[in-house]
Structure 1
Amino acid sequence: MDDYYEKIADYLDGEMSEEEKVRFIEALASDKELALAFKVYRTIEEEMPLLEKSKVQNEALKSTLQSLNKQYFELETPQPAKVIPLYAGKVFKILATIAASIALVLITYFGFFQPKNNIQVLANSYFKENLQHLNQTKSDPADTLQFGIAGKIKKRNTAQDSLQLGISAYNNQDYNKALKFFQKIYKNHPELSEAEKYSGFIFLATKEYDKALQAFENLANIKNTPNNPGLFLQALTYMQRNQVSDKQKAKQLLEQVVNNQAEGYKEAEQWLKKF
């Protein structure tokens, strides 16, 4: 059996000479065991990469398993034939290999991809629907120069203008330009916490998760901010990154959000049901 798979691998990898290829193809036509082993090898080779795509769905898995079942387990009614114990033993090994392959598909899907998809899909969908495009406030032309009390001139709020320019760049996915606006604003006007929050959004969009976590931690540490979204956004970042221990960190943060009734607590309540 091992010799079969070595030959199959050599054939598929193009490591056979032309003469060896001809002999192998002839053997496939005449040797039922080799032909079945070839099907098993190709099935594993072709089906497993499908599970490596982030959009694996249950129906796809079901279809894969049904396909394997049809190909290898719904065998035709056997014709009367001479019983050869050695052949039966080889068939058993082949079927055992198929069963192991199906088990590997199940373990790979349910043990790795499915849990990961659950929280990442939630986080990615939330980002796309709520954070990928920001609302803008139109500037009031009459606000350029105004006469205040005792005829004093009030200057235009340039920080707010810069914030709107940054938002415009963000919506156009010009993230480098937007980040320059937001970082400069937050440095000169730390009271404008939106600038730090929007910087975090940029890092989420560019998948720079460590920087996003730092921005949202800074946001969470700002005192006297009603319904501070910092904790919720940190949890969102952990869910999107989804490295080892990130799921537990996200869960703990979401629980804090719910307990504090902070911004995002309704989503947090729903997401916690998925953990």
Structure 2
Amino acid sequence: MLEQIEKYFKNELSLSERKDFENQLATDSELAENTAFYLNANMAAKTLANEKRKAEFEVLRKELVNRPVRKIKPLSWAIGIAASILLVVGFWWINQTPKLNTEEFANTYIQEHFENLPVKMDANADSLQIGLRLFNEQKLKEAQRVFEAILHRKNNDSEATKYAGITALRLAEYDKAIIYFRALSKQTNLFSNPGKFYEAITLMKQQPANRKEVEKLLKEVIDNNLEGKNEAEKISK
């Protein structure tokens, strides 16, 4: 009988069983007495449990009251709080400050420096000047053929090598551009040599960019005071 009573109060009976139990409870005095006993026993158990928890809490409270309190100097406390706030703000600022995107930097540099190339105003233009004029007219393929024709005749022509690399870069022929810029950087007889910096710009355009190689090239440009040092320092910060 007690098992049935417990199932009733734990909602473990079906709807029909609950209805039968309630109907029987109204007419069966023994069931009513056992149900009352069950409820009283549960209430007593809960009371004992609450009293036990109260006693345990009281013991804990006394321990906390009797524990020696560590005094904190107001100034030290304020300094500690201020330092913590500054640390959090500094960490947030570092993570919120946007880092310069290498591809974005490359796009800006190309737009500012490789849209038009310097041309000599001379009626008797040589092949190099013809190539530059074609480049500035956005006839990049024709300009590329002119620069490569010059290199076919004289493969160590630094100007033709540089402009052939720039033209390949503008045409998104990055592998070819890198070949030209590496060849340019190996020419040690030049007063100013942008080969390594231009190679870094080209690598920035390749996706995915080889960041380690870009960083290595920029470091070489900065350490050796090569052409492009100022721009390399900007992107390396």
For the aligned pair, the TM-score class normalised by the smaller chain equals 0.5 to 0.7
Shift of 1:177: 0.9
C-alpha RMSD over aligned residues: 2.0
Quickly say closer, same or farther: Cα 1:223–1:187, change in 2 above 3 A.
Answer: farther
> Aligned to 1:263, which of 201, 224, 227?
227
Structure 2 unaligned runs (5+)?
1-94
Matches of 1:140 and 1:168 in 2, distance apart? 12
2-structure distance, mates of 1:222, 1:124: 26
Residue of 215, 239, 256 corresponding to 2:180 = 215
The corresponding residue for 1:124 is 107
The Cα offsets for residues 123-160 of structure 1, whole Å up to 9 and x where unpaired, read as 1000010112101001156xxxxxxxxxxxxxxxxxx6
**Distance in 1 separating the partners of 2:165 and 2:150:** 14
Point out the more displaced range, 189-198 or 253-262.
189-198
Tell me, in whole angstroms, the C-alpha distance in 1 between the residues paired with 2:123 and 2:173: 35
8 Å CA contact 1:227–1:261 kept in 2: the answer is no
Q: Tell me, in whole angstroms, the C-alpha distance in 1 between the residues paired with 2:171 and 2:154.
A: 25
Secondary structure at 1:216 match in 2: helix
Residue 167 of structure 2, aligned match among 202, 209, 232: 202
8 Å CA contact retained: 1:139, 1:161: no
**Could you give the per-residue CA deviations for residues 200-255 of structure 1, whole angstroms, max 9, x where no partner exists?**
111111111111111111111123112211100110011111425x1111111000
Residue type matched to 1:199 in 2? A
Structure 1 alignment gaps of length 5 or more: 1-109, 142-159
Partner of 2:134: 169
TM-score using structure 1 length: 0.48
Amino acid at match of 1:193: S
Q: C-alpha distance in 2, partners of 1:140/1:172?
A: 17
The equivalent position to 1:135 in structure 2, one of 118, 122, 145, is 118
Report deviation, 1:191: 4.5
What amino acid is aligned across from residue 236 of structure 2 in structure 1? L
Secondary structure of 1:261's aligned partner: coil
Q: Which has the larger radius of gyration?
A: 2
Counting only pairs closer than 5 Å after superposition, residues 243-258 of structure 1 correspond to structure 2 as 243=208, 246-258=210-222
Per-residue CA distance 1:244-270 (angstroms, 9 max, x = gap)? 5x1111111000000111110010011
Are positions 1:233 and 2:198 aligned together? yes
TM-score w.r.t. length of structure 2: 0.56
Aligned residue pairs, count = 141
Task: Say yes or no: does 1:185 pair with 2:168.
Answer: no
The CA distance in 2 between the partners of 1:258 and 1:119, in whole Å, is: 17
Whole-Å separation in 2 of the counterparts to 1:211 and 1:191: 16
Distance 1:182 1:169 in 2: 11
SS at 1:135 equivalent: coil
The answer to which of 235-244 and 167-176 deviates more is: 235-244
